């Protein structure tokens, strides 16, 4: 017996010395965040637009109500919340695996032989087993479950930021379309007045039928544009309604003019993306899981130590007081060391290592993609601001041109074609200016989302 004890102790001691690596804690791999945003970072970049809560950035009260509704009712977000609960339950199960398992097995028997008086037998048995986590199997399972919970929670936050960004983008897109509808309606009214003036001039012999027909055709073209815009409004309202988890219908909203946003945008320090942006955190949590899966695969090469015991009370007389019966006790300690299992453990370790390396690449790529999205949003915002400045000047010149050509035509010094070109150019420029304003706002939304804003 002493020799067996020495052998078992030696196996355990040797395994403990060689298994230190399976207890290793996850450490983030080195990532290069220098120039991740493709812009030079300064001290002022320590403050980011993502530091604002969504209701601080989006001050339109109608939009705030819609975002709040989306955070409560969006289907994807509610599913993500349930996934967090699933991960929490899995983590709880991993924590409880450290405890012993207990079973109770009561039993009663009634037997009779050859017509004799029946005899009664009662047994009350209990058993317990406890796996001692000497080689980190349970520890790594718990750490992996905790990383899975982090991943689920990061996914929930990623969906939440997407909900905030999507609702805001659709809302401002509706405001843009409303503004374009108003511009087009005003243009149609202007064409109607112009056609009426031409009819008066034709009666005076100063205009012909072809000129009126061309003006009518231009008015009808604007009417067609209006129908397209109204269709887009209807479709976008339906899209936003279903995204909010409600039946399709109208969306209460304000006006594009008067919407305010910060005049200067800062992306903050690029390293903050690792801890702030949910999808990057999700990728790192997935890497953590892969890391602890590798540790688990390593622990499979080491022994499993289990303590088990059983206790039972039996009574064969049918009465607990007059025949109290007897107690049965048993205790067992077992050690199972894998020796040969057709290469399964080796294969599992190789698979785990490969998956861990895949997760490293995925994490680094997620960070690179995030940096690219930040730069794209900054560029979109700045480009839109530049285009707004140019479009404003263009419209001023086109308004002057349109006014002058109408006067020249009235006095017969120019033809209708120049008036038509001037009016069409002015309508196009006004519609484009509204689109540029929306693009500027969309750049703010995209930057906020790219930086992980909207989690609070």
Task: Provide the token pair at 119.
Answer: 């005899």
Structure-token pair, residue 157? 């936050």
Residue with tokens 């955070």: 71
- Residue 1's pLDDT is 41
* Sign of the four-CA dihedral 274, 278, 279, 282: positive
- Do residues 257 and 336 touch, judged by C-beta distance below 8 A? no
Angle at 361 between CA 375 and CA 157, to 5 degrees: 60
Q: What is the pLDDT of residue 322?
A: 47
* Helix residue ranges, H only, 204-330: 209-243, 272-276, 278-299
What pLDDT does 235 receive? 97
**Burial annotation 401-418 (CB, 10 A radius, 16+ → b, else e):** bbeebbeebeeeebebeb
Beta bridge partners of 372: none
Rg (CA), the chain: 37
pTM exceeds 0.85: no
Q: What is the separation of C-alpha 246 from the centre of its chain, rounded to a whole number of angstroms?
A: 21
CA 260 to chain centre: 26
- Amino acid 5: pLDDT: 46
What is the token pair recorded at 295? 């540790």
Q: CB 57: neighbour CB atoms within 10 A? A: 19
3-state secondary structure of 120: strand
Which single residue is written with the structure tokens 């004799």? 116
pLDDT at site 337: 60
Rounded to whole angstroms, what are the CA distances from 64 to 2, 54, 96, 257, 437? Answer: 75, 8, 43, 17, 20
C-alpha 435/C-alpha 423 separation (Å) is 19
Which residues does 88 contact at the CB level (< 8 Å), separation at least 6? 149
- Beta-bridge partner residues of 336: 304
From 437, 434, 442, 433, select the one nearest 376 (Cα to Cα): 442
| Cα separation, 325 vs 120, whole angstroms | 12
Q: Indicate the helix (H) or strand (E) that contains 332.
A: strand 326-336
Tokens of 113: 């032989």
Name residues whose C-beta falls within 8 Å of residue 140's C-beta, 6 or more positions apart in sequence. 22, 292, 293, 295, 296, 299
Can you list the domains of the chain with their CATH numbers? 24-98+140-301+354-450 (1.20.1600.10)
Do 256 and 435 touch, CB atoms closer than 8 A?
no
Alpha helices in 19-121 (DSSP H): 54-57, 61-73, 75-96
Q: What is the pLDDT along the chain (456 residues), one digit of tens a residue?
A: 444 444 445 555 544 444 556 778 889 888 877 777 776 654 445 568 888 999 999 999 999 999 999 999 999 999 999 999 988 888 887 777 766 676 766 766 767 666 667 776 766 667 666 666 667 788 888 888 899 999 999 999 999 999 999 999 999 999 999 999 999 999 999 889 888 888 887 887 777 788 888 889 989 999 999 999 999 999 999 999 999 999 999 999 999 988 988 888 777 767 676 778 899 999 999 999 999 989 888 887 777 766 666 666 566 554 544 455 565 656 655 656 665 666 788 888 999 999 999 999 999 999 989 888 999 999 999 999 999 999 999 999 999 998 888 777 766 666 677 878 888 899 999 999 999 999 999 999 999 999 998 887
| Whether 230 contacts 181, CB under 8 Å | yes
How far apart CA 161 and CA 176 sit, in angstroms, is 22
Count CB atoms within 10 A of the CB of residue 444. 21
């Amino acid at each position: 017996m002493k020799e067996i004890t020495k052998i078992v102790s030696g196996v355990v001691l040797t395994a403990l010395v060689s298994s230190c690596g399976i207890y290793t804690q996850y450490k983030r791999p080195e990532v290069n965040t220098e120039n991740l945003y493709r812009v030079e970072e300064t001290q002022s970049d320590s403050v980011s637009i993502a530091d604002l809560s969504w209701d601080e950035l989006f001050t339109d009260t109608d939009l705030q109500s819609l975002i709040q509704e989306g955070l409560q009712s969006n289907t994807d977000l509610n599913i993500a919340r349930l996934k967090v609960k699933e991960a929490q339950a899995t983590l709880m199960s991993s924590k409880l695996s450290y405890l012993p398992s207990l079973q109770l097995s009561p039993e009663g028997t009634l037997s009779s032989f050859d017509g004799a008086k029946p005899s009664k037998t009662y047994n009350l048995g209990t058993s317990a087993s406890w796996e001692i986590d000497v080689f980190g199997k349970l520890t790594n399972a718990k750490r992996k479950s905790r990383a899975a919970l982090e991943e689920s929670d990061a996914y929930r936050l990623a969906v939440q930021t997407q909900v905030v960004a999507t609702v805001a983008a659709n809302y401002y897109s509706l405001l843009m379309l409303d503004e374009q509808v108003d511009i087009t309606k005003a243009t149609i009214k202007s064409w109607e007045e112009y056609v009426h003036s031409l009819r008066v001039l034709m009666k005076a012999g100063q205009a012909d039928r072809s000129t009126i027909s061309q003006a009518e055709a231009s008015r009808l073209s604007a009417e067609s544009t209006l129908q397209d815009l109204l269709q887009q409004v209807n479709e976008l309202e339906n899209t936003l309604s279903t995204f909010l988890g409600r039946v399709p219908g109208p969306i209460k909203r304000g006006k594009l003019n008067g919407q305010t946003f910060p005049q200067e945008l800062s992306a903050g320090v690029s390293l903050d993306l690792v801890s702030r942006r949910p999808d990057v955190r999700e990728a790192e949590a997935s890497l953590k899981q892969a890391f602890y899966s590798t540790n688990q695969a390593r622990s499979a090469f080491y022994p499993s130590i289990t303590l088990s015991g059983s206790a039972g009370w039996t009574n064969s007389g049918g009465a607990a007081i007059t025949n109290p019966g007897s107690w049965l006790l048993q205790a067992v300690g077992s050690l199972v060391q894998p020796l040969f299992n057709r290469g399964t453990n080796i294969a599992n370790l190789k698979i785990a290592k490969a998956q861990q390396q895949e997760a490293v690449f995925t994490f680094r790529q997620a960070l690179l993609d995030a940096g690219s999205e930040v730069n794209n949003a900054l560029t979109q915002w700045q480009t839109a601001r530049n285009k707004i400045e140019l479009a404003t000047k263009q419209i001023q010149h086109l308004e002057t041109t349109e006014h002058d050509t109408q006067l020249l035509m009235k006095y017969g010094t120019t033809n209708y074609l120049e008036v038509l070109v001037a009016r069409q150019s002015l309508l196009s420029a006004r519609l484009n200016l509204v689109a540029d304003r929306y693009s500027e706002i969309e750049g703010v939304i995209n930057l906020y989302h790219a930086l992980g804003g909207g989690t609070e």
